[in-house]
Structure 1
Amino acid sequence: MGEKKGKQGKPRSGKGKAGAKDADRRVGRRTLLIGGAAAALGTAALARDKLGHLWWRLPGVEKPRVAGAVDFRGAQWVAASAANWRRADRPDDYGIDRVIIHVTQGSFRSAVKVFQDPGHGAAAHYVVRKDGHITQMIRELDVAFHAGNREYNERSVGIEHEGFVERASSFTDAMYAASARLTAAICGRYGIPLDRKHIIGHVEVPGTDHTDPGRYWDWDRYMRLVRKASTASA
């Protein structure tokens, strides 16, 4: 069972581009016409919800940002196209409680290139190369369009891994070790439990048609490494 592919071999999410599912909510004309007072109350609730995630845009409230800064020490910064993510101020506006594991279905270089393409509509926070090198392309503060599900995008950090789901050889010792350290650091930063309910594969995201990381991804080994890295860091 294969995956649908987007540009340059990168799998695409669900129906259309991942970014399309993450488009900002808008109050439709139909909502305003049906239900009278009930619709008005619903609109007000929607407005309050939206404003609750925008408070940080007030002058002096947003966390300071430094160009080229990374959230994981040792990662290399390469910026993704601004079309492939949404500016936020997590975890203050959206709580982070998931790490989502992806596989690029292509080379490291092609993944980085496609995430820099504004027409692709998707990108992950990190890309891990076979030799363990880690590139960060989106700040953890911000919402990356990587999961094909708006809610999961808002609450998660996405990690891509170079390789192919149907090739066991894609997943090297260096990749597992580096990715485990990265995931352990993310979980420690946001208080995410080190279990399979909170560290999941793209295939486990509701509403997507992806199969990554696939049957050759060794979850037992990976979770042992994540816990070991977390203990060493502590």
Structure 2
Amino acid sequence: MGSRGRRAFLIGGLGVVAAGAVAGRDSIARGWWLLPGVRKPRQEGALDHAGASWSAASPANWRLADRPDDYRVDRIVIHVTQGDFASSVEAFQNPWHKASAHYIVRQDGHVEQMVRELDVAFHAGNRSMNERSIGIEHEGFVTRPQDFTDALYAASARLAADICRRYGIPADRKHLLGHSEVPGADHTDPGQHWDWDRYLRLVGELLR
């Protein structure tokens, strides 16, 4: 996700554009079948991960797709919000933000889904990676290792294992990567305090 300052600026416009965001979401929901290549029906509030809750991101922050039929899903990109959970949800609901992720994992282990997996979230700053990946945000700051709690690691690992199982994604560092590792990325998340060895071990154990 972008810098803390940019998020604060973008969130400030939320009230002005809220009505437009709702109207845009409703029009897309009604007209999905008119778009070429998009065939799968969508039900508002439907979840891809059983342990999640739903809050819809603004349709300005993601793109309708028909994955994995139109784009193969073979990557998971790990992000850190650089802000708290509530401000991150608000940012993804703000059409001026122009970014979102499929999921946000809170420090207490709660998982919020904001974009359906069949659709393309604007999370990686790279079109090809967006089209082939699921984006998972984690509440916290890259400079604060205490933000990466046991509950956060456990919930994210369950989510990642579920995604890997459903799409046949190997649970390794080639297929689970940080935002900073996306080609062309100018972000530093998840940063040096993210424990990749621990994370991959947890995911792998759940896939056995």
TM-score over 0.5 (shorter chain): yes
Q: CA offsets, 1:103-146, max 9 Å, x none?
A: 00000011000000000000000000000000000000000000
Q: SS of the residue aligned with 1:135?
A: strand
| RMSD value, Cα | 1.5
When normalised by structure 2's length, the TM-score is 0.84
Instruction: Give structure 2 stretches of 5+ with no counterpart.
Output: 11-34
Q: Note closer, same or farther for the CA distance 1:167–1:86 as it changes in structure 2 (3 Å cut).
A: same
Contact 1:9–1:105 (CA under 8 A) maintained in structure 2: no
Contact 1:192–1:198 (CA under 8 A) maintained in structure 2: yes
Q: Partner of 2:8 in structure 1?
A: 8
Larger Rg: 1
Q: Distance in 2 between matches of 1:89 and 1:153?
A: 13
Contact 1:181–1:230 (CA under 8 A) maintained in structure 2: no
- Give every structure 1 segment of 4 or more consecutive aligned residues whose post-TM-superposition deviation is greater than 6 Å: none
| The one of 144, 150, 156 aligned to 1:173 | 150
Q: Aligned partner of 2:188: which letter?
A: T
Q: Distance in 1 between matches of 2:86 and 2:3?
A: 20
Q: Partner of 2:74 in structure 1?
A: 97
Identity %: 65
Instruction: Give structure 1 stretches of 5+ with no counterpart.
Output: 11-53
When normalised by structure 1's length, the TM-score is 0.75
Q: Aligned partner of 2:69: which letter?
A: D
Q: Distance in 1 between matches of 2:171 and 2:72?
A: 16
Q: Partner of 1:56 in structure 2?
A: 37
Q: Aligned partner of 2:7: which letter?
A: K
Q: SS of the residue aligned with 1:200?
A: strand
Q: Partner of 1:72 in structure 2?
A: 49
Q: CA offsets, 1:67-105, max 9 Å, x none?
A: 100000020000000000000000000000100000000
Q: SS of the residue aligned with 1:89?
A: coil
Aligned residues: 182
Q: Note closer, same or farther for the CA distance 1:9–1:226 as it changes in structure 2 (3 Å cut).
A: farther
Contact 1:9–1:106 (CA under 8 A) maintained in structure 2: no
